[in-house]
Amino acid sequence: MADKRAHVITGGFPLGSPAGHDQDYARLRLLTLLAEQDVPATVGNDFTDIARFLPISRLLITYVAGPYPDAAQCEAMRGWLESGGHWVALHGTSGGRAQRVEGHRMRRTIKTEHHALLGGFFLTHPPLCGFTVDVNPHALTEGVGTSFRVEDEPYFVELQNPATAQVLLTANYGFGSDAFPILYPADTSPMADGKTRVLGYNTPVGAGSVTYYALGHCHGPTEFRGPWESSAFTKLLRNAISY
């Protein structure tokens, strides 16, 4: 495994599609943050060649809207993580294969091996809005403060490994979603209090770990940048790169 190299995956589905996100902007920002810390990087649009790049990488960063690793690719990623790799997964990485629901515009996410490895499963999100993110102390959140305001898509993410996940970011939106019970029988994203949702966590995997942040939406042509213009989100990304 390389001492200091990253592999960055940004892309949508179908191949070449932005899938509602400004993939070029996210890619540029991530590569710029890596360059700040003198971390060389390779890039990809999906997980097709992941097994070729992992052995020469210490860090994997994913910002995707649709692409997800299949069972064989997940096994390669798990082995790499257990050997000390660090996966920083952002925003739509907790999604993946979506299924149409008859009579509705919304789509249901299908749970796969990818979600078990990632540790999070995207359910839905209401429209863009402003909300407060609460921050738990950790090396990954150092210098961010105890909370910050952000404008983003309010993600509802079901935690897959609650016993081992170190919760970094949470939010209480103050509202639910009409996706329940249309897409899913119940809302399984809240924590024990029934209203607080996890927006960031770190989960150990062998000698490595997975860090996931639900924040990160951006799109064009209206050039919404939301969290990417937040100093707190930028600090979280810098911390994750150096972690």
pLDDT tens-digit series, residues 194-210: 999 999 999 999 999 99
Rounded-to-integer distance, Cα 230 and Cα 218, Å: 12
Domain ranges of the chain: 6-242
- What proportion of the chain, given as a percentage, has pLDDT over 90? 93
pLDDT at residue number 120: 98
| Nearby residues of 131 by Cβ (< 8 Å), 6 or more positions away | 149, 150, 152, 154, 171, 173
Q: How many CA atoms lie within 13 A of 168 on its CB side?
A: 24
pLDDT (tens digit per residue) in 124-138: 999 999 999 999 999
Task: Give the pLDDT means over successive 10-residue stretches in the chain (243 positions).
Answer: 90 93 97 98 97 97 97 98 98 94 85 97 97 98 98 98 96 94 94 96 98 97 94 98 95
pLDDT at residue number 204: 97
Under a CB-based contact definition with an 8 Å cutoff, are residues 93 and 212 in contact?
yes
pLDDT at residue number 114: 97
pLDDT at residue number 3: 78
The reported pTM is 0.96
Specify the residue for token string 């429209």: 127
pLDDT at residue number 195: 95
Q: Tell me how crowded residue 59 is: count the other CB atoms within 10 A of its CB.
A: 22
pLDDT at residue number 24: 96
Distances in whole angstroms, Cα of residue 7 to Cα of each of 10, 41, 61, 106: 10, 5, 6, 32
- Where does 6-242 sit in CATH, by number? 3.40.50.880
